[in-house]
Structure 1
Amino acid sequence: MTEWTTDKEKKILWKYRFTLTLRIIRVLAAIGFLYGAYNIILSIAYDQSEKADKNYFSISQAINWTQNGYLVKNEPFLHAEITPFLSQELSLPLVRTIGKKEVQIGLVDVTKRLIAPFSSKNITYTEPSAQSGFTFYLPEDPRTGKKLTLKVDPTVWSTLEKVHEGTVADFAFSTDRYYKPEELLELLSNYDVDVLWMPLYTGELKEIKDVSYSVAGGTYFMVDGLGMTRARETDDYKSYTEIGLHSDGIKENERIMLANMEHLLKSENKTYLENVLGLRFLQERHDYLKENGFKVYGAVVTGPVKELLKLQDLKTIQSAQVGEFAYWNWTGE
């Protein structure tokens, strides 16, 4: 019979520990390999599917409609990832147009999770001044039809007068009445400016009661309204052709906007639409536009500062704001 000794016990324990450690390493390596393979297959499948393009399309539409002249940069190459828990993560550049140039002012980060309430959107501004954006005032109280007036701050025009003519800027104004989009565009066609965005009246305070708004001196402005901007039509999310705000194509722009609203209503969860994309009452707003037509009450435009100064001749303007200035980058058409 072999005599049991402390040395033999240590050897057996060491051998056991070595064997156990080796097994654990093998199991961890197998798990790591399977996890890596899963991530690779998942990423390839995600890249080959239309999910990233679909998510980008939904986010860009929401941002472009709600950000008062700021836009998600229109580009086919974007940063999109899918996590092992099937959350889609997108990072999109936010831009403002000053003259003919798009200037990045921030980043839109969106995480779309399988469970919609846990999805999130965050906008980080690289320029603090861009965070406030523009404000647009309704020309009348929708509930009573009473006209609401607000005088243009004279410093708006004096600021433009003092700026060197070799400068461009973006500029926003509200009107003292509602216009059909083609009417306002026709009015602005006499000036060398580009129209970037127009606030839409979609039944707020009248058909839609529970909306966010503020009152300044008896004048109402919408906090979570929608606006018209360049329109992108797509069936497979691969097309990046857009129609701008021009009088000769505005009816097509309206048609595309209604179609895109319908698409979002059918393809996206209501919680995701409202709480993440910020598209509250999208169904009600779509129905109002479809039944009553498009009415706008202002615009965001851009152009040479001396051309913007000429807009003071428009008696319909009841409030105005100057945005950001940039060196001359304008080409007349």
Structure 2
Amino acid sequence: MSDDFKRQLQDYADGKLTGNDKEQFELELEKMEAYQAYLGELMGNDEDRHPLVDGSAYKASTPIKEASLLRRSKWRARIQTALTAIGILITFTLISAILTGLFYGLGKRSSIYQDVVSSAIALTRPNLTVSGGSNSNAYFTMDYKGNMKKKIGDSEVSVGDFQLKFVLGWPMGEQTTWHSERNNSNTSLFLLSGSDAASNNQDWATLEKLPEGTVTEAFVSLDKRYTTDELLQKFNGKNMTPVWFAAYTGQERKLGVAELVMNPVGFPAYPLWHAEDMQVTSRSEEKRGWFGKTVMESSISPGIQTYGDGSVRDKNFLDTLHLLQKYATITNRLAPWLPLEPTITYLEANGVKLYGVVVTGPTKELLKLKEEQWVSSIRVGEVRLWNWNNR
């Protein structure tokens, strides 16, 4: 074995050989392993059976030891290469986790995305809200997970689980798990034309059959379009609560002669306050280490009248639509049927007019709506046992 070969062997064992030099040397090792294996077969393990070489006994153990040394060196190099790769992966993961946290934390991007998600669901899925939180991971990904709820009676009832994954700020698909198939009924809930639909509507009969001691969610279609203030006044003094309003946008997809609305758009009775709407009441900062600090802030939302402030609610509705327009990639993922630009244009030009409302309350109180002229028809939603405080 030459000194140059020994040096290369030592460099290979130490992981110093790279590129073409490493490939060429590994080819030489493979050749030597094949030669030595064949030589070992010819010579066997008994040194007395072999001829003398240069006047001395040729020891069969010599090539075997060299082969063992070569194999150990080769495996040592492989393990070192694998450990290096693992180290690089771990380092990259740690760095990407730090950069991911900075990416989603910069400019409160994570909080804004949460606001957009909850707003898109609240405006396009009647009487449905989602509340949850986000968690940034490595590789510039973030997971938003939340619980979907409905207002039925005086309780917020969990109806499903929601998850949305972000990659570099792009939503990659919604995953919704409903607790019941009935919860996933967000189409054909309202009628645009009223006429004699009330007398033929089978859901009135359903309300009559439901027992006392229950509360119901109902989707009420109106006989015409009302302003927000006009509709709110209809509920003043009634033992029920409006929870979601269906707004006419001029973009409705209609089905049938009765004009069933597919995928209605509207807003919750209680406004969707955003960060710019909140009034800061107190703020304090506490230093953490050399460069860090903890900021503690408390704020309150604007007050609103139970059966009034229609202009405030309408403005909040339009502000929320503008927020969804600004983050259209998220909105299009959650509500691909919502044409944002023409919807906003129509509402700004014609004002907010309502053709439907989701109400909840005691079942027998909702049945009284059949006698109201402004009620066109009704569709029964979720029903629960009594959880109501009389108004």
Report the TM-score, using the length of structure 2 for normalisation: 0.71
Contact 2:142 2:167 in 1 (8 A): yes
In structure 2, distance between residues paired with 1:40 and 1:278: 31
Give CA-to-partner distance per residue, 1:303-331, whole Å, 9 cap, x none: 11121121112122221111222121111
For residue 375 of structure 2, the aligned residue among 303, 314, 317 is: 317
For residue 180 of structure 1, the aligned residue among 227, 233, 240 is: 227
Alignment of 1:269-284 (within 5 A): 270-278=328-336, 280-284=338-342
Q: 1:60 to 1:137 in 2, by over 3 A?
A: same
Aligned partner letter, 2:185: S
The corresponding residue for 1:64 is 122
In structure 2, distance between residues paired with 1:84 and 1:307: 53
Structure 1 gaps of 5+ residues are: 140-146, 205-210
SS in 2 for 1:219: coil
Structure 2 gaps of 5+ residues are: 3-57, 279-298
Contact 2:118 2:130 in 1 (8 A): yes
- CA RMSD, 1 decimal: 2.9
Aligned partner letter, 2:159: I
Q: Does 2:174 align with 1:121?
A: yes
Contact 2:250 2:346 in 1 (8 A): yes
Q: Does 2:189 align with 1:189?
A: no
The corresponding residue for 1:219 is 258
Aligned partner letter, 1:91: K
Report the number of matched residues: 311
SS in 1 for 2:275: coil
Q: 1:92 to 1:184 in 2, by over 3 A?
A: same
In structure 2, distance between residues paired with 1:237 and 1:84: 33
The corresponding residue for 1:200 is 247
Structure having the higher helix fraction is 2
Contact 1:167 1:325 in 2 (8 A): yes
Contact 2:215 2:388 in 1 (8 A): yes
Q: Does 2:214 align with 1:167?
A: yes
Residue 100 of structure 1, CA deviation: 0.8
Alignment of 1:221-240 (within 5 A): 221-229=260-268, 230-235=270-275
Q: Does 2:137 align with 1:86?
A: no
Residue 17 of structure 1, CA deviation: 2.2
SS in 2 for 1:190: coil
| Greater gyration radius | 2
In structure 2, distance between residues paired with 1:304 and 1:245: 23
Residue 157 of structure 1, CA deviation: 3.0
Residue 155 of structure 1, CA deviation: 4.1
In structure 2, distance between residues paired with 1:105 and 1:243: 29
Q: Does 2:323 align with 1:263?
A: yes
In structure 1, distance between residues paired with 2:304 and 2:64: 85
Contact 2:241 2:359 in 1 (8 A): yes
Q: Does 2:72 align with 1:15?
A: yes
The corresponding residue for 1:144 is none
Residue 240 of structure 1, CA deviation: 8.3
Aligned partner letter, 2:147: P
Q: 1:302 to 1:109 in 2, by over 3 A?
A: same
Give CA-to-partner distance per residue, 1:62-91, whole Å, 9 cap, x none: 110111222223xxxx34233434233212
Aligned partner letter, 1:179: Y
Q: 1:113 to 1:277 in 2, by over 3 A?
A: farther
In structure 2, distance between residues paired with 1:91 and 1:227: 24
Contact 1:170 1:324 in 2 (8 A): yes
Contact 2:126 2:244 in 1 (8 A): yes
Contact 2:97 2:139 in 1 (8 A): no
Give CA-to-partner distance per residue, 1:132-187, whole Å, 9 cap, x none: 24611113xxxxxxx76523445433333333322211111101111111111111
Q: Does 2:389 align with 1:331?
A: yes
In structure 1, distance between residues paired with 2:363 and 2:142: 42
Report the TM-score, using the length of structure 1 for normalisation: 0.82
Stretch moving more, 256-265 or 30-39: 30-39
Residue 253 of structure 1, CA deviation: 1.4
Residue 299 of structure 1, CA deviation: 0.8
Aligned partner letter, 1:312: K
Q: Using CA pairs under 8 Å that are at least 6 residues apart, name the structure with larger relative contact order, 1 or 2.
A: 1
SS in 2 for 1:231: coil
Aligned partner letter, 1:135: L
Contact 2:149 2:158 in 1 (8 A): yes
Contact 1:153 1:320 in 2 (8 A): no
The corresponding residue for 1:102 is 156
Q: 1:263 to 1:222 in 2, by over 3 A?
A: same
Residue 39 of structure 1, CA deviation: 4.8
The corresponding residue for 1:253 is 313
